[in-house]
Structure 1
Amino acid sequence: MKHFLTAAALAMAAIPAAAEEDITIGFAIAKSGWMEAYDTPAAAAARIRIDEINANGGLLGRQIKWVEADTKTDRAQSAKAGLQLIDEGADMMIVSCDYDFGAPAALSAEAAGMNSFFLCAEDVKAGIQGVGPNSFSGSVLAAVQGATMAEWSHAERDARRGYVLLDTFIEYNKGICRGFDWMFPQLEGAEIVGRDTFKNDDASIASQITRIKSLDAEPDVIMLCSVIPGAAAAVRQIRAAGINSIILNGSAVDGSYWLNAVPDLSGFVLPVQGSIHGDDPRPEAEAFNVAFEKATGARPASSYAYPGYILMDLWAKAVERAGTLEGAAVTAELEKMDKEPTAFGVRSFSPELHHQNIAPMQIIEITDGKPAVISEWTISEPVPLDVLLSR
């Protein structure tokens, strides 16, 4: 028996150790419904970064694979998708762009002790405040976009009289206005001379336009906090009424796909994380656009693809520094990131905030129906947490 055990031990020693299993990323994203238009490009961007990491030797010496489950733009299905991906062995979960539709899956990841990243959610609840300590977002808060527009327009276009027009459809819109409301009155000589609301599906904003035209003088800027299709309808009516104020908005109206609804539009300005138009001053950003076209057959339709690439890049860096996939350890490394370089500018996280409350933004202006980068702007101070949490 002694000789048999020795022979068996020698035989076992001769068998190569099994390679560690691949790392699995779970995508709980909308493959159908209105969220698909946001989730699909950002998920494709994340997979481009996965392919790059794999081509460079993988993560922790292991290759990354991915699995996905369709949330169908449905909250209940999002929860099911999260549980399904955990059953399929996900080590980290990427969830829908919107907080409401991504949170159920992210909560499943949180309960399992793993990291989750919202593809491009811009509400502070998509993180610590709404999901838990291991949840993050790959995008820039809506309030930062509004604050950027306030400070940029004051400095670059001498805006002193601002009017706020809020589309009450989703929290994102409220976040844009929240940032503008915080920043603009702080600026020298600046005041908000009026405000109004409308609903995204309103056929007419004639009464709101009448109130703007009844002001003593036309506002220098109108902070339009809205998304398509309501934003396009509002802009068309504002210009048709002869109001020439500069119209500001957030990143959600990026892209030229809606401009046929407002022919020859000028004086419309928005902040974005990077330009899809081939004029981004950073070579890395345009290199991504080219890689995206190679992978998908078309350039990004909007800058909402970019956060998917960013989140995968940041998470992978944190994993390498932590030396493990364990959620809390990776979170600790993410929270140490302070002005961490990415292809689209620096990013930071902290134990209090898993979002960007300050970030460099490319400023896009639409002139004669053509969008183009005109400058870059980073707000002078971060948007405070109490402002982000106000409702």
Structure 2
Amino acid sequence: MKTLKKFAAAAALTALGAAPGLAQDEPIKIGALYNATGGMSSLDGPSLKGAQLAAKKVNENGGVLGRQIELLAPDTRTDQQETAKAAQRVLSEGVVAGIGQSDTTFVMAAAPLFQEASIPFVTSGATHPELPQWVGNYMFMAPFGDDDQSYAIADYAVDEMDAKTAVVWTDQSMDFTKALSKFFKERFIERGGEVVAEDSFMIGDTDFSAQIARLKSTDPAPDIIFVSAIPTEAGLTVKQIREAGLELPIVSGDGFDTDLVADTPGPDLANDVWFSTHTYRGDDRPEVGQFIADYNDEYGMDPENAFAPLGYDALMLVVDAIERAGSAEPDAIRDELEKTRDFKAVTGTISYTRDTMVPPKPISIISVMGGEFNVESIWRP
């Protein structure tokens, strides 16, 4: 009878994946939720590639806790419903953590489901500074907050471009774009600037002629225009503003950190564009050089933008937490993520020292001239 009981207990443990040695042989599953297609793909595609590169590097070096990393990466298709379905799918498949998304709207379609399941989620690129408060204590950010990046580009516009007046265009369909404009206006006005007019559009809009007509009629003409947009509309607004013969500087945040800003208008029109983004381009830290070399070896090209190393950083934050915890249990990972200090990420050192749980990170100011991207300045919070 005792033998039968022992056998039954062992069988139950095996069914739960807890038999001695069994769990340690299984891969550690991590969800990677990215919009590989659709309007966010020029940011999320590189992020996913960065995360996949990180997983490959970890696995080639023996894995973490002696186990391999397995990324579950369904395409969320730049669609909130698809994002929620993908989150539910990977949670049902036993992930111990999730990473992903470059926009707050899509994080909010996924991260609350991870919070409800008590599974940590690290966004690689969404930057709304209230995300950790909105979602809960299982939510973490690899990037800076929109307040910091908006302040950075506002300071640059005032200090380096001598801008005193601005028109602000905002995509009203996205939490990210609305927050970016809010914080830009706050800082620009605080620094003595004046917002002389505002206008709006929605994701998917392709004709900006009405907004351009109103911009042209603004009298006196503003010193700059701040355009808060995600990649597709970023490229289109630059193209159409320049085609209309307007030459005033266009400024923005990291939604403009996409090749579409140069490719959509073409090099003849992609001029006098300035945006704040994650510190990466032109950075001589060893972590950056190694990442660029590894990315080139893996994909035969340089990283497309700062969202590639952000995907890498998000996964490595999770791996670092697993290593420090000595466990792949979600609660243990969450606890160690919260304790993260001085983590040497590709996009800058990450420490969760603020009450908001948004890491204070340096911010690059990038110019686009003749379709070429160049680092002009580094802003520090």
Task: Assess if the C-alpha contact under 8 Å between 1:43 and 1:119 holds in 2.
Answer: no
Cα contact 1:134–1:327 (8 A) shared by 2? no
Question: Cα distance 1:40–1:246, how it changes in 2: closer, same or farther (>3 A)?
Answer: closer
In structure 2, relative to structure 1, the CA distance for the partners of 1:171 and 1:116 (3 Å cut) is same
Q: Which of 285, 295, 299 is residue 298 of structure 2 equivalent to? A: 295
Task: Tell me if the contact between 2:97 and 2:318 (Cα under 8 Å) persists in the aligned partners.
Answer: no
Identity, in percent, stands at 27
Query: Distance between the aligned counterparts of 1:272 and 1:171, measured in 2?
Result: 17
RMSD between superposed Cα atoms in Å:
2.8
- One-letter amino acid of the structure 2 residue matched with residue 370 of structure 1: E
What corresponds to 2:29 in structure 1?
24
Q: Structure 1 residues 329, 371: CA separation in 2 closer, same or farther (over 3 Å shift)?
A: same
Q: Unaligned stretches of 5+ in structure 1? A: 1-16, 380-391
Distance 2:36 2:276 in 1: 27
CA contact (8 A) 1:256 1:371 kept: no
What's the offset of the Cα at 1:374?
A: 1.8
Match of residue 114 from structure 1: 119
**Runs of 5+ consecutive residues of structure 2 not aligned to the other structure:** 1-19
**1:45 deviation in Å?**
0.8
Paired with 1:243 and 1:34, the residues of 2 have a C-alpha distance of 26
Could you tell me how far apart the structure 2 residues matched to 1:164 and 1:208 are?
12
Q: Deviations over 1:149-195 (max 9, x none)?
A: 001222222223233222324222112212211211222x4333332
Following TM superposition, by how much is the alpha carbon of 1:115 offset from its aligned partner in structure 2, in angstroms? 1.0
Matched residue, 1:270: 275
SS in 1 for 2:365: strand
Q: How does 1:91-130 map to 2 (within 5 A)?
A: 91-124=96-129, 126-129=131-134
Q: Give 1:334 shift.
A: 2.5
**Is the radius of gyration larger for structure 1 or structure 2?**
1
When residues 71 and 153 of structure 1 are mapped into structure 2, their CA distance, relative to the original with a 3 A threshold, is closer
Aligned mate of 1:359, from 330, 346, 361: 361
Residues of 1 paired with 2:331 and 2:37: CA distance? Answer: 32
Question: 1:275 touches 1:373 (CA, 8 Å); kept in 2?
Answer: no
Residue number in structure 2 paired with 1:282: 285
Checking the alignment, whether the CA contact within 8 Å between 1:99 and 1:121 is kept in structure 2 is: yes
- Alignment match, 1:371: 373
Separation (CA, whole Å) in 1 of partners of 2:234 and 2:73 = 32
What's the counterpart of residue 234 of structure 1? Answer: 237
Residues 231 and 257 from structure 1, CA distance in 2 versus in 1: closer, same or farther, beyond 3 angstroms? Answer: closer
Residue 196 of structure 1 pairs with residue 199 of structure 2: yes
The worse-fitting range, judged by mean Cα deviation, of 32-41 and 361-370 is 32-41
Aligned to 2:142: 138
> CA 1:229–1:94 in 2, change beyond 3 Å: closer, same or farther?
closer
Residue aligning to 1:83: 88
Distance 1:29 1:233 in 2: 23
SS at match of 2:30: strand
Change (3 A) 1:76 1:364: closer
CA distance in structure 2 between the partners assigned to 1:339 and 1:157 by the alignment = 33
Change (3 A) 1:162 1:207: closer
Question: Does the CA contact (< 8 Å) of 2:278 and 2:362 recur in 1?
Answer: yes
Does the residue aligned with 1:324 lie in a helix, a strand or coil? coil
Question: How many residues matched?
Answer: 357
SS of structure 2 residue aligned to 1:83: helix
Residue 181 in 1 paired to residue 185 in 2? yes
Give the SS at the match of 1:341: strand
Give CA-to-partner distance per residue, 1:315-338, whole Å, 9 cap, x none: 222233333333344333333334
| Secondary structure, aligned partner of 1:144 | helix
285-294 or 119-128, which deviates more: 119-128
Distance in 2, Cα, partners of 1:50 & 1:378? 30
CA contact (8 A) 2:257 2:305 kept: yes
* Counterpart among 220, 241, 255 of residue 223 in structure 2: 220
- 1:47 equivalenced with 2:52 (yes/no): yes
